Chain A
Amino acid sequence: MILTLAIHTVREAIRKKIPHILISLGAIVLAISPFISTTHEPDALPKIMLTVFFQAVALLCVTGIILFSAVSLPHDIENKTIFSILSKPVSQFKFVAGRTLGFALLAAFILVALGLVNIISVFFASAHLPPEHRGIFKARKEFGAHHFHIQGKIHHEKEGIRWVMGGREGIAIWHFSHLHEKAKNIPPFEVELRLKLDSSRNVADTIPLSIGIEGIQSKENKTELVSAKADETVTLGIPPEIIRKNNDIKITVFPTLTADYIGTAHNTIKVFSIQKGFVFNYAKALAITFLKFLLIIAIAVMGSAYLSAFVSILSAFAVFLCGHLLDFIKDFSLLLHHSGAHEHGLPGMIKKPSGFMIYMDYFFKKPLEWISFILPDFKKFDILSYLLKGIDIPIETIGFSAGYTVLYVAICTLISYILLKKREFF
């Protein structure tokens, strides 16, 4: 029954050409995106395309979905088509749930369609990129070092960076642990070094480094000589046989020449496991974007269960914007709090809070606190940076946003149901 209502909603949208319009508008925006002028970094174009999709196109779709979902219920009531539904054995709850599900299906369809366009064009745009610039196509999971020390002499330490002189005078050592749990399905691993480099040689274009990777359990090790350039990250694959036998590894680095120096810190080196890859990561990003849409749909439906079409559109947009500005709202309410706290420092005479401050407190701070408590926090749905850095979106992020959305949608649907139940249809 809920599904029937949902399909009905989708059909309504299709007959009213809503997906057609949104998908073509979205495709136009995506088609324009390559012409945005960018920096001259080789991978700027695919990055711009991803950004445009997850910011501009998503915003466009949200707008369309809000317009449609906030309007549909008030239209049902205004055109009295709701009579023909509620005179059937359909409870108000099923009605709301069916509508919401319908909008969700619609949103999913539009997202997937535009997402396909986006991902295909991203692949096209980066077909000729050299391997070292294909970072966004990885979906890596990051491991920080759990221990870092210098064996031998630290040449000097400045601003938290420990400098080591070459020729084995000092060796920087990082330990990484718990890289994988099970022996099966071990993904490839790589290590990324962002060292500071210096040299007392006159012409030092590149600096030769000795990088050792050693398994803690099997004691196997492998050493590689790499010539590093200043300001460039060095990426090395970790031999699979070491990873297979070891859960924990040790990485040692020193410049081979005594005239060279490296600057190191705890987070200079990171280990990444390369997960399923870009397409899967992209799918996860789409899923989270979809959850965000679902949340807005539930809010739009809730508004439209009580308000007129126009007012519910406005309020859904307001919630959407506020959800994005939530940090700002929080800061603002904190700010008010701070200026209130300030008074305690003042002498007893003027310590008594002024009328103005009480006024501010009741009319701004309290409501703002409440708003920031009630509003959805869309910060939790921000996945673009993961994609741009080629980092695997952690499963916890998905779980969290899914849980958040489910809770929110459940509450909104319940409220919509109660509002409709109380409502009269003239």
Chain B
Amino acid sequence: MRHLINILDLTVPEIDALIRRADDIMARPEDYWDACAHKILATLFFEPSTRTRLSFESAMLSLGGQVLGFSEAASSSAAKGESVADTLAVVSGYADIIAMRHPKEGAPIVGASHSLVPVINAGDGGHYHPTQTLTDLLTIHHVKGSFNGLTIGLCGDLKFGRTVHSLIGAMSRYENIRFVLVSPEELKLPSFVKQEYIKDRGIEYIQSQDLESVLGDLDILYMTRVQRERFFSEEEYLRLRDSYILTPEKLKLARPDLAILHPLPRVNEISTEVDRDPRAVYFRQAHYGKFIRMALILMLLEEAAK
């Protein structure tokens, strides 16, 4: 049984196929209205994430399927102490495919090993969130037409931001990629991520603490939240925060064809005035998330039917 736990479970050709499928869905949504008729998606959210859950449910409904599930552990059997293994063993008898989110790292591996149907990891703590990375990839591909030859800036919390690690892992498999890593010293990319995905693959990269000095080089700018609780002191946070806030003023330094991405929700790292800039694609990015999830649901159901 094929599941999706980590973005790197998918090969480059598989990701290409998912993107082609998502593009086709966007171009001809009516062709897919009944693609999942009489199929059921269970959304098992042991930890609330309204945005991700709605995206999955909208995806399944747009394919003509049905959805059931729970949106937090308190309203599920988990509150009575049922294990992940038992929950999945039971629920997988009620659905054709499962999207599961859980606060503990590795929980979807346990879930998948007890499930009768494909399991999609919809986030396991701060560990993996492959459908976010697929969303990021579809957005980049849609805006740029290809993955090759791009200079990708990643800005903010590169240490704890796992969406950043997954995106680097996925993008490092394409040709002529350059990474520009912009963060305060305290939130630099962990060395094991840098080693495995960048250095070992001979990829060119620049590390900087100053967004303005590198902004003009970028094709893609992936912004992330710089969270207060990551800092030792309030002064330090306030001092550093401002250098990683994107404003129309700073954007004057950027190329006209830059694409600004953000996994959302944003707090203040992108000023709302930037929203009107055509280079801001983060809201469209959230919408793309639904289409790539549709493509993924179709792919896993097709594989399961084999």
Q: Do A and B come from one complex?
A: no
- Residues of A at the B interface (CB closer than 8 Å) are none
